[in-house]
Amino acid sequence: MSVFLKSTKRMQRSDRVYVAVSLLILLIAAVVMLFPLYFMVITSLDRPVEAASANQTLIPRYVTLESYKFFFQFSDHSLRWILNSAIVALCVTAGNVLVAGLAGYAFAKISFRGSRILFWMFLITMMIPYQVIQIPLYMLIINTFKLRDTYAALILPGLCTAYNIFLMKQFTTTLPTEILESAKIDGCSQPQIFTRIVAPLSKTVLSVMAITTFMDSWNNFLWPTLVITKDEMKTIQLGLTSFRFQNSTFFAPMMAGACIAALPMFILFFALQKYFLEGVTIGAVKG
C-alpha cells in the first residue's frame, strides 16, 4: 500500500495531489462503467408507452412503477420465468456444490487407482470450447432423451463443471492431511470425514463456488434458448428476449424487464459481497 508514500510515512503535498488525481480517475472510470446500468434503471422508471429513440434522456422525467407492471402483465408467465430461473439455478448450484465438492475432495485427499488420469481428463475438457460440445449435447438432450421444454434439460448438463472440481481440489490440497489421517485412525469413515471435517473447513470455497455457479446459471442464455420453446418454461433471460422482440418500441418496460432480470444478482452481490470478490480471485492469484 505504501507504493508512493515514502517510508517516512508523512503525507506530503505531492502525495495529496497524487491521491486526489487518482481518485478522480477512478471516479470517472466508475461513472463510465456504471453508466449503462444507470441508464437502465432511470429508463425503467418511465411510463410504459410506445416511444421512439427520440426520447432518451439522462435525467428522469417521470418516476413510476407502471413499466414494471406492464412487463409483468405482458405474458401470463412473467412471474413464472423468474421462478424457472430460480429453480434451475438453485438445483444446479446444489448439484455442483455436492458433486464437485465430493469429487474435488476425493481427488485431493483420497488415493485411489486412476485418480490422476481421471483428474487430467477433467482438466483437459476445461480447455475445450463450448461450441464443440453444444451441438452434440443438443442432439443428445433433444433427439435421444427427448427432454425439450423440461427442467431436466436445463439442469442436467450443468450439474457439475470441471472448473468447480478443479477449484475444490486446489483448495482441499491445502488442508493439512494429518487431521484427516487421525480421523481415519479414530475410525471415521470417509463420508463422515467429509461432512464433519472437510466441509466446514471448505465453507469459503464452497460458498464461492455456489455463488459463481448460481450467477452463471441465472445469466445463462445460450443453452436455454436452444432447449426451451414453450412460454411457461422460459427462464427470465429468455423471457426478456421474447419481450424485446415483440415490443421494440416499449422501451421503458423493456428496461424494467432488464432490471428485473439483473436485480436478484445485485441483491445477492450486496448481501454476500465478500464471497463474490474473493471468488473471483481463487485460482487466478497464487497464495
Partner 1 sequence: MKKLATLLLAAIMICTLVPVQAESEHPAETLTLLVPNFETIPGTFDNMEKEFESLYPWINLDIILTSWDEYENQLNTMVNGATPPDITYPTDPTYIIQKYLSSEMLLDISSAPEEMQAEFDTAALDFYRNGDALYGFPMVVTPQMLGGNKTYMEEAGLDWRKIQQEGWTFSEFRDAAAKGVKKTGDQTDVYGFVFAFAGVTAVDILELLTRTAGMENAIDENGKYAYTDPNFLKCLQFIRGMIDDGIMPKESSSVDAGMRWNMMLTGNTMLTGKALINFENLAKNNNKLLEEAPESAAVGSKHLEYCGLPVPYLEGCEYHSFGTVNGYIAFRQVEEPTPEHIQNVILAIHYLVSNKYFTIQTVNGLQTPVNSVARSYMPEALETLNVEFDPDNRAFNELTSAAIYKPNLSVTAEQSEKVSRLREEIILPQMQGMLAGEITPEAMYEKLCSAAVDMFGADGVR
Partner 2 sequence: MTILRKRRALRREDEKWGYLFVAPAVILFLLFTAYPVLNAFRVSFQKYRPLGSTFIGLQNYKSTLSSSLFWKALWNTVVYTVGCVPVSLVISLGLSILLAPMRKWVQTIFKAAYYLPVLASGVTLSIVWLWIFSPFETGIFNQILGVLHIPSQNWLGSSKTAMLSLLIMVWLGNHGKNIIIYCSALAGIPNDLYEVADIEGASYFVKIRCIMLPLLKPTTLFLTVTGIITSFQVFQSAYLMTGGGPNHATTTIAYLIFTNAFTYFDFGAACAQALLMALITTVFAVFQFKFMGSDVEY
Contact footprint for partner 1 (CB under 8 A): 47, 49-55, 138, 142-143, 146, 148, 226, 229-231, 242, 245-249
Candidates 88, 91, 162, 210: give the one binding partner 2 (CB under 8 A): 162
Q: Which is nearer to partner 1, 69 or 230 (CB)?
A: 230
CB under 5 to 8 A by kind: which of partner 2, partner 1, none does 152 bind? none
Out of 12, 17, 20, 36, the only residue in the binding site for partner 2 (CB under 8 A) is 36
Nearer to partner 2, 37 or 79 (CB): 37
211 binds partner 2, rule: CB under 8 A: no
Distance CA 153, CA 175 (A): 36
CA distance 267 to 260: 11
Binds partner 2 (CB under 8 A): choice among 68, 74, 89, 157: 157
Cβ nearer to partner 1, comparing 6 with 230: 230
User: Is 206 an interacting residue with respect to partner 2 (CB under 8 A)?
Assistant: no
CB 234 within 8 A of CB 242: yes
**Member of 88, 91, 92, 106 binding partner 2 (CB under 8 A):** 106
CB-wise, 134 or 242, nearer to partner 1? Answer: 242
Q: What 3 state SS string does the chain have?
A: CCCCCCCCCCCCHHHHHHHHHHHHHHHHHHHHHHHHHHHHHHHHCCCCCCCCHHHCCCCCCCCCCHHHHHHHHHCCCHHHHHHHHHHHHHHHHHHHHHHHHHHHHHHHHCCCCCHHHHHHHHHHHCCCCHHHHHHHHHHHHHHHCCCCCCHHHHHHHHCCCHHHHHHHHHHHHCCCHHHHHHHHHCCCCHHHHHHHHHHHHCHHHHHHHHHHHHHHHHHCCHHHHHHCCCHHHCCHHHHHHHHHHHCCCCHHHHHHHHHHHHHHHHHHHHHCHHHHHHHHHCCCCCC
Question: In terms of CB distance, is 70 or 214 closer to partner 1?
Answer: 70
Tell whether residue 226 is a contact of partner 2 (CB under 8 A).
yes
Kindly state the cell numbers that stand for 273. 459481497
For partner 2, which residue of 7, 13, 186, 200 counts as binding (CB under 8 A)?
7
Q: Does 265 bind partner 2 (CB under 8 A)?
A: yes
Interface map 110-149 toward partner 2 (x if CB under 8 A): xxxx-x--x--xx--x-xxxxxxxxxxxxxx---------
Residues between 59 and 98 with contacts to partner 2, criterion CB under 8 A: none
Q: Cβ 251 to partner 1, closest distance in Å? A: 9
Distance in Å, CB of 79 to partner 1, minimum: 17
